[in-house]
Amino acid sequence: MDEKQAHAVLRERGRKEMREILGAPYTEARDTTTTPFNQAIRALSEEMAYATLWTRPHLDRKQRSLVTLGMLCALNHPHELRVHLVAALNNGCTPEEISEVFTHAVAYCGFPAAIDALRMAEQVLKEEGRL
């Protein structure tokens, strides 16, 4: 298998993982907005984040989701936080576990970041019928 074929296999594996983690609606919407301008970074995220990182042993998807929520809270990236809140629910995280991540983040990220993350979580949980 040449390098191009290896990337194609890895990308397809990543797309399968991404579809399971983020949901088919997200993946389909993402596909409709893929352009030559953003195509390279999206392919990298499929290969690296989903095919490689999300499939590593020792942490299950639920654990990875909780860790991801904490990191996105710290970085204050609301768009990605919204996406990964839905993923966390898909991966079996409960509203209580999600709330606890942001409560715990107060000590490490500060009140503003934790409050913003909790506010986004409340919005997503209501939209998803979980609150």
pLDDT of residue 1: 85
Question: Looking at the 3D structure of the chain, how many domains does it have?
Answer: 2
Is the same domain home to 67 and 48?
Answer: no
Q: CA-to-CA distance for 84 and 74, rounded, in angstroms?
A: 14
Range of the domain at 13: 1-56
Is the same domain home to 15 and 74?
Answer: no
Is the same domain home to 80 and 107?
Answer: yes
Q: Could you read off the pLDDT tens digit of each residue along the chain, which spans 131 residues?
A: 899 999 899 999 999 999 999 999 999 999 999 999 999 999 999 999 999 999 999 999 999 999 999 999 999 999 999 999 999 999 999 999 999 999 999 999 999 999 999 999 999 999 999 99
Helix (H) or strand (E) holding 93: none
pTM: 0.93
